[in-house]
A and B are shown apart, each in its own frame.
Chain A
């Protein structure tokens, strides 16, 4: 597993480069698909590092972690450019209005950091599922649990995060 850690910066840099390229040049008609992205990075890395298929689970985890960082950085930059730091959006009274995507991305990252303190495995699952775009089957394989357990755990995580993020609107 120590091998995995040395992989992190490589994965991160690679994903970041590719995501950036996609956003710059293909924004309108291209869906940025984290799974496809991760898969592509995996192919490149595995060619150069003789990686085995069983490392794929660990790799997906790393890729998801990297995606989380990229996305959160991106959201922070966007939030800063849209308004001065520290300002929060107000809701139109009576009109059900959704949280802006950058606010959601930032809130989710913070909530997930809290969840890591409560249940690190559960946070890992959220990373794989949400940031990694993994299917429940892939999540289950990566975490070495049954798909049913993965689904049950995801529901719990969803409720926990929802509560964490929903109850703290200022």
Chain B
């Protein structure tokens, strides 16, 4: 087989794989040929680079060749109240100018975004107006403000926005210490979270769209491909152009886009922030974990919201243990349980039967000894195991209401069984049920179980004081 054939085959086989897996498979198949590995890796990297030019065809290129009169042509001209001063940048769809607005004797510097000549297909026009609507929807000190809109004499529409005199995020952070960089990033996260609360997914978050002013104020710009969700949990199939390095797997695959897509892009940006500073050695394991979770291939494995990501970063800045690492066991469980129903049933069953089984076996062996011992209190191991499972059930119930319902029905069923012979176990089960019901605001059944748990606690020697306390607290909350 020729080398080129080998390159082709390996590329086709591995291009869709996650980085780590591809690296492994390539090493395996290349048989020590490092140059071959690099060649394929290079192609994969290129595959993920912006491809807008190659994605269009000669028709578009012809058109561009014909109509891309120098964007500078507009400089020095006036439209409406705006005097166009300088050409700042150009994208595939529009040119951006610096302009001065003169009204009632005052002057204000603004940015003018003008649709490119020839870029006047219906789809592009629609997207341009869409950006205008999106920006008008967002009012935030860290989001570029929408000021006005109009039409040039040659019929091209333009948007007037706040002028941001800033540099891309990665450039600004260049000489800043890690803490400073992360603090700024947390502000960016809060801003994206705000946009999400307005149901706007940016979809093209990258350093060049996060500008930082001289004063260190971040500003989100370019909502040109932003998507409006129908609800906060909603998703929508994105159609705009992408920047593949920052685009999530689901965006690249053309699958529905949710807030998780922005989480992914922010994770990539965060990775660059950590790597690009003067003190890269500080890039701690915790930070890498945060990046990994934000950039998980499966949207369901990522932070559920930008706020969650921000929370972990804040903890990192405050040197607290990360929610995600502290709870990584339950986190993994939660993910697992979302896909499989049985673990929650298993947890509930184990929680109950462990206690019942162990205690009853013990009873059979030596009921006198059990009496003499402090009952449930003596079965620390059983109790601990049961508590772990209880926590599991609560975690799962929080992650998925459906699983909560499942846990409730299972535990309720258990209550009518042998559990009643073992008041300590019954107490634990009722405490779990009270919590689960409270979780979903069903006070009546919650109160019923809490009441019974309090009664059991007050009348049974084996129920520990802490559990009694919990029962009372739950009873109070369910009143």
Any A CB within 8 A of the CB of B53: yes
Restricting to B51-73, which residues have a CB under 8 Å from any CB of A? 51-54, 57-59, 61-68, 70
Pick from A71, A94, A155: contact of B168, CB under 8 Å? A94
Q: Measured between alpha carbons, how far is A99 from B52 in the docked complex, in Å?
A: 11
Any B CB within 8 A of the CB of A34: yes
Q: Measured between alpha carbons, how far is A118 from B8 in the docked complex, in Å?
A: 12
Q: Measured between alpha carbons, how far is A130 from B55 in the docked complex, in Å?
A: 8
Measured CB to CB, the closest approach of chain B to A147, in angstroms, equals 15
Most buried by B among A68, A75, A159: A159
Q: Measured between alpha carbons, how far is A68 from B53 in the docked complex, in Å?
A: 15
Pick from B52, B89, B92: contact of A92, CB under 8 Å? B89
Asked if A95 contacts B89 (CB within 8 A), the reply is yes
Asked if B208 contacts A71 (CB within 8 A), the reply is no
B167: A residues at CB distance < 8 A: 94
Looking at the complex, which of A3-11, A41-49, A54-62, A161-169 is the stretch in contact with chain B? A161-169
Q: Measured between alpha carbons, how far is A35 from B91 in the docked complex, in Å?
A: 27
Q: Measured between alpha carbons, how far is A75 from B53 in the docked complex, in Å?
A: 15
Known contacts A31-B59, A32-B59, A94-B208, A155 near B65 by CB under 8 Å: no
Any B CB within 8 A of the CB of A143: no
Any A CB within 8 A of the CB of B335: no
Measured CB to CB, the closest approach of chain B to A92, in angstroms, equals 7
Known contacts A98-B92, A152-B12, A159-B47, A133 near B54 by CB under 8 Å: no
Q: Measured between alpha carbons, how far is A75 from B63 in the docked complex, in Å?
A: 11
Q: Measured between alpha carbons, how far is A166 from B67 in the docked complex, in Å?
A: 24
Any B CB within 8 A of the CB of A102: yes
1/0 per residue, CB under 8 A from A, across B41-55: the answer is: 011111101011110
A99: B residues at CB distance < 8 A: 53
Would you list the 4 A-B pairs with minimal beta carbon distance, nearest first?
Answer: A163-B46, A101-B64, A159-B47, A162-B46
Query: Can you list 12 residue pairs at the A/B interface with Cβ under 8 Å?
Result: A23-B62, A27-B67, A33-B59, A98-B92, A108-B53, A129-B57, A130-B58, A156-B8, A156-B12, A162-B46, A162-B49, A166-B46
Please report A residues at the B interface, Cβ cutoff 8 Å.
19, 23, 27-28, 31-35, 67-68, 71, 74-75, 78, 82, 92, 94-102, 104-105, 108, 118-119, 129-133, 152, 155-156, 158-163, 166
| Given A101-B65, A119-B4, 17 further pairs, Cβ under 8 A | A34-B57, A34-B59, A35-B59, A92-B88, A94-B167, A95-B88, A97-B90, A98-B52, A100-B68, A131-B57, A133-B58, A152-B12, A159-B44, A162-B47, A162-B51, A163-B43, A166-B49
